[in-house]
Copies of this chain bind each other. A is one copy, B any other.
Amino acid sequence: MNRIELTEVITANRISRGLTWQQLADAIDRPVVWTTAALLGQHPIPRPEAEILVEKLGLDTDVIPLLGAVPVRGTDRDVAMSDPTIYRLYEALAVYGPAIKELIHENFGDGIMSAINFSVDIDRKTHPTGDRVVITLDGKFLPYDWVSGD
């Protein structure tokens, strides 16, 4: 079994056992976005947390080393983008991505927002015209810096 096949089993077992992502995150005391992404194959899961999750999800314990290995990250873009819920995020980048770039440079200088020293949070905010999804992307600013190890 490779990590992609393992993710399919995790997905199926979570649904058939009626577990929420939040319950799984609570069980290991980690942020829910991190936990969900990790179970979907995007982060290695340390042994203690993996042991708990394997038990909750009814997985074989010999997948624990595989859960702990650094995965090949990423999502097939064509598949992901065909889903309307995910597509709206790509659409936001198509419309606002260049503006975000300009304002990062204007406010921080030449560099990037790290996607490695980084976290994502999702919140629900009430609003008179209907509840809102609020997604916060929070990454360290990294300035372009020509450093060599010598």
Which residues on A are within 8 Å of B, measured CB to CB? Answer: 1-2, 8, 11-12, 15-16, 18, 20-22, 31-34, 36-37, 40, 42-44, 62, 65-66, 69-70, 72-108, 110-122, 124-125, 127, 129-150
Determine whether the beta carbon of B132 is less than 8 Å from that of A149. Answer: yes
For this chain, the copies found in one complex come to 10
- The one of B31, B122, B127, B149 in contact with A107, judged by C-beta atoms closer than 8 angstroms, is B122
Q: Which B-chain residue is minimally distant from A113 (CB atoms)? A: B133
Q: Are A74 and B85 in contact (CB under 8 A)?
A: no
Partner of A129, one of B76, B97, B102, B147: B147
A-B contact pairs, 5 of them (CB 8 A): A75-B97, A96-B120, A117-B147, A129-B147, A137-B137
Cross-interface CB contact of A133 among B42, B78, B108, B148, cutoff 8 Å = B108
- A11 to B84 Cα, complex, angstroms: 23
Looking at chain A's contact residues, the main secondary structure is: mixed
Q: How far is the CB of A33 from chain B (nearest CB, A)?
A: 6
Query: Which chain B residues lie closer than 8 Å to A134 at the CB level?
Result: 136-138, 149
Bound form: Cα–Cα A150–B43 in Å: 22
Name the distance in Å between A84's Cβ and chain B's nearest Cβ: 5
CB distance from A131 to the nearest CB of B (A): 5
For the complex formed, measure the closest distance between the CB of A75 and the CB atoms of chain B, giving whole angstroms: 5
Q: Is the CB of B116 within 8 A of A112?
A: yes
Please measure, in the bound complex, the distance between the C-alpha atom of A122 and the C-alpha atom of B136, giving whole angstroms: 10
Among all A-B residue pairs, the 5 with the closest Cβ atoms? A74-B82, A125-B149, A113-B133, A36-B99, A37-B99
